[in-house]
Structure 1
Amino acid sequence: MRGEYKVPGGKLVAVELETADGRITEAFVSGDFFLEPDEALEDINAALLGLHTDAKVDDIAASISQRLPDEAHLIGFSPEAVGIAVRRALGHASRWEDHRFDLIPPVTMDPRMHVALDEVLAGEMARGEIGPSLRFWEWDRPLVVIGSFQSYRNEIDDEGRERHGIDVVRRITGGGAMFMEPGNCITYSLIVPASLVEGLSFQRAYEYLDDWVMGALAELGIRAHYVPVNDIVSEKGKIAGAAQRRLAGGVVLHHVTMAYDIDADKMLEVLRIGREKMSDKGTTSANKRVDPMRSQSGLPRDQVIEAFLSHFEGRYDVSRRGYTEAELAAAQELVDTKFSTKEWTHRIP
């Protein structure tokens, strides 16, 4: 059995195993990493012997750490990375290449429908009705999307919200508020099996699920990287924020919003917390805009989105599709019964 794991920003770790009676009997670790002293590789291999085939990543990493000499230096990988490769070799975890993805281009609709579609598609995947998917949002009206655990009154200035005619919806993932007007952001949702991030900490899972978009940004000439826990930044500052939730049925929902061209003045009149967050960024002048994707790519928003779609399509096994009538009907029902209700939106006053 063989498993591989490419450390984001690091090196490839490969593990070949043999097992008997529920235990690892032979183990060989290899890769393009660096390791000192050379003999430490034998310690890593020995640390895997005898481990139960159901051992978790933390257990595998602990066994390796205990076996390594104090003077050992692992460069480009870690005991955790070896543990993930072991779990993949044992069939507990999957790779991007193990899946076929539905790729859903933007469809313009009420942004509350997109919030609901995250839940609808996650449910379909949990029931085995669809596979994993990457989809892009497009919306026909302004909306503020607040995180599942945010306080409404702490986030929203109702006077400013009403003055600008902007509604609020609460999503099912955590994280911060998304100030969304037509054309001002680029937002996508990934719905994937939990096996894809099996063994990864929440922090590593964020980075791992957005590794593809780092490649897409690089093709656009934007050098970006992750800043824990959930920010994507370039040399010129923050580009995007991510949110994630692990749902019942072995499904992970992960979505990202990138600022394309945001009216910062309007945003700060609607979001209370936004004023504090932006206070150290010099956004006090009139008509100030937050536009990292527009200014750094130099491209129209639709071309950036198409570049993202094409990059993902060229990288993995995908099939483009639209939403089914049943999916849209289920999403509309959720909008009516949940996401448009005061009970849900104000569940944390």
Structure 2
Amino acid sequence: MRQTEERDDGMITTRIVTGRGECKTPNGKLVAVSVRCDDDGIVEARLDGDFLIDDLGDHGHDGDHWRGDNHNDGDDMALIADLERTIIRQHVPIDESGFRDDVRRAIDDHPNSELIGTTADAIVVATLRAIADARNMDIDSRDTADGPASPATNNASAATAHSDSAATATANAPHPAPDTLSDRWHDLALHVVQDPQPYSPPMQMALDQVIAQAVAAGDQPPTLRFWNWGGPAVVIGAYQSVDGEVDEVEAVREGFTVVRRITGGGAMFVRPDDTITYSLYVPESFTHGLDAVESYRLCDEWAFSALHALGIPAVHQPINDIATPSGGKIGGAAQRRFRGKSGAPGCILHHVTMAYRIDGEAMSRILRISKEKLKYKVNEVKAVASANKRVQPLATQTALSRDQIIRGMADHALATISGARPGIIPDSVLVQARSLARSRFSDSDWTHRIP
């Protein structure tokens, strides 16, 4: 990504160089830093990635409008803005120990926003790589996240090793029997809904927000919704860079709509006939006291039970993936918390997209796959050479059709979740979602809030 430009203020010509660095935490997420530097230091920084943020202070939204402008929706974006300011304040060459402390302080200043899947050490490494990229230096031998070198690197290695061990221990922990749901599922009175018609990608993004708001306010019962996609889409995470993730020209040429969702995580490559997506909207109390890994596992507990009943041996792969026992990825989940007001129950939005089939060649043309992600192992499976090989869609696991899987999962939820019953999407929710789809999720400013 290295670029060079010149800034002329009349008497002095300043050379500006641009670079990008990435750091993937093993069994975690990728964080990326883009910088613009002059001779004196960093003049601009942008942080993005497929990490997750549990915004504990998110008190929901007012009607069709989110708080603030599109560039500062809540404390999650305030955290990112503070981290970017922290990067800009660093003097080059960077005091890595002091920088790490500054990043940790910035994170600690936002106690209501829990950064999941990445660390202060990873942000430091990504920044060092960005500066090296800008200045045409090679530091891969001294600041990799998984090898000995500088103090920041050693600390990052220790941190990611601890995360790796914790995630592996969690993955190897006993799983509940596939036909038994935990006590937290009792008394939810869950409504199981299937979209009555195909909805456009912006409408699907809007439906997730509006239904979650309604559940948070106590106006809508806990709901499990199976999506009916109205067209192909690339859905990027709340904190991802559009340019870093998608070849937009190619996406448009092939008929894909690029939209940004309200949750973190990575980009989703969607074709309606090749994709299964569901959302779970449950009261905040449902995941009370659980850490991130436990929360994702609980919210997908019914899905693992349903897939097992259909003969598909899916497993939870921390932090938030649904995978094959050999480690191939079937799908991924993301969450966002909506606080209730005046005693309302609040809501956890948990949504999942699983690949039924996948066109690896088309995905490779449209998505920009990070080499940093691909060099890591997944549960001791040898690192793969392409994203196409890493994904193992459901069609490789079963002879069932996509529609048979969806019907089977819905029927299993109705049969095994105490109090579950068929439901519908109220007309009032559809009206609000259509308005929000136009005003926000079709808006280029929202989609490109991180360019």
Q: Structure 1-normalised TM-score?
A: 0.69
State the partner residue of 2:339: 248
Quote the Cα distance in structure 2 between the aligned partners of 1:103 and 1:253.
Answer: 15
Quote the Cα distance in structure 1 between the aligned partners of 2:438 and 2:241.
Answer: 22
Paired letter, 1:219 = A
Query: Does the Cα contact within 8 Å between 1:136 and 1:189 map onto a contact in 2?
Result: yes
State the partner residue of 1:72: none
State the partner residue of 1:257: 353
Higher strand share: 1
**1:309 equivalent in alignment to 2:405:** no
RMSD: 2.3
Determine helix, strand or coil for the equivalent of 1:179. Answer: strand
Paired letter, 2:315 = H
Query: Does the Cα contact within 8 Å between 1:263 and 1:290 map onto a contact in 2?
Result: no
Measure how far apart 1:96 and its partner are.
Answer: 1.1
Quote the Cα distance in structure 1 between the aligned partners of 2:421 and 2:187.
Answer: 14
Which of 416, 431, 434 is residue 332 of structure 1 equivalent to? 434
Measure how far apart 1:111 and its partner are.
Answer: 2.3
Quote the Cα distance in structure 2 between the aligned partners of 1:229 and 1:262.
Answer: 23
Paired letter, 2:394 = M
Query: Does the Cα contact within 8 Å between 1:152 and 1:346 map onto a contact in 2?
Result: yes
Quote the Cα distance in structure 1 between the aligned partners of 2:393 and 2:248.
Answer: 28
Query: Does the Cα contact within 8 Å between 2:330 and 2:355 map onto a contact in 1?
Result: yes
Quote the Cα distance in structure 2 between the aligned partners of 1:76 and 1:185.
Answer: 29
Quote the Cα distance in structure 2 between the aligned partners of 1:148 and 1:198.
Answer: 24
Map 1:8-27; keep pairs closer than 5 Å.
none
Quote the Cα distance in structure 1 between the aligned partners of 2:347 and 2:371.
Answer: 35
Measure how far apart 1:161 and its partner are.
Answer: 1.2
Which of 213, 220, 230 is residue 310 of structure 2 equivalent to? 220
- Cα deviation code 1:221-265 (max 9, x no counterpart): 122221111111112421111101112212100011111011111
State the partner residue of 2:384: 281
State the partner residue of 1:170: 260
Paired letter, 2:353 = T
Quote the Cα distance in structure 2 between the aligned partners of 1:324 and 1:284.
Answer: 39
Paired letter, 2:365 = E
Determine helix, strand or coil for the equivalent of 1:212. Answer: helix
Q: Structure 2-normalised TM-score?
A: 0.54
Query: Does the Cα contact within 8 Å between 2:331 and 2:352 map onto a contact in 1?
Result: yes
State the partner residue of 2:185: 96
Query: Does the Cα contact within 8 Å between 1:144 and 1:178 map onto a contact in 2?
Result: yes
**1:137 equivalent in alignment to 2:221:** no
**1:182 equivalent in alignment to 2:272:** yes
Distance 1:298 1:220, change over 3 A: same
- Cα deviation code 1:109-156 (max 9, x no counterpart): 212211111111111112211111000111121111110011111011
Aligned length: 257
Paired letter, 1:256 = V
State the partner residue of 2:11: none
Quote the Cα distance in structure 2 between the aligned partners of 1:120 and 1:331.
Answer: 6
Which of 270, 275, 298 is residue 366 of structure 2 equivalent to? 270
**1:202 equivalent in alignment to 2:298:** no
Runs of 4+ with deviation above 2 angstroms: 273-285, 288-292
Quote the Cα distance in structure 2 between the aligned partners of 1:339 and 1:326.
Answer: 18
Paired letter, 1:311 = H
Paired letter, 2:352 = V
**Unmatched 5+ stretches in structure 1:** 1-74, 78-93
**Unmatched 5+ stretches in structure 2:** 1-171, 175-182, 341-345, 376-382
Query: Does the Cα contact within 8 Å between 1:244 and 1:252 map onto a contact in 2?
Result: yes
Which of 321, 329, 346 is residue 423 of structure 2 equivalent to? 321
Distance 1:199 1:163, change over 3 A: same
The sequence identity of aligned pairs, in percent, is: 44
Measure how far apart 1:325 and its partner are.
Answer: 1.7
State the partner residue of 2:54: none
Which deviates more, 194-203 or 317-326?
317-326
Measure how far apart 1:165 and its partner are.
Answer: 2.0
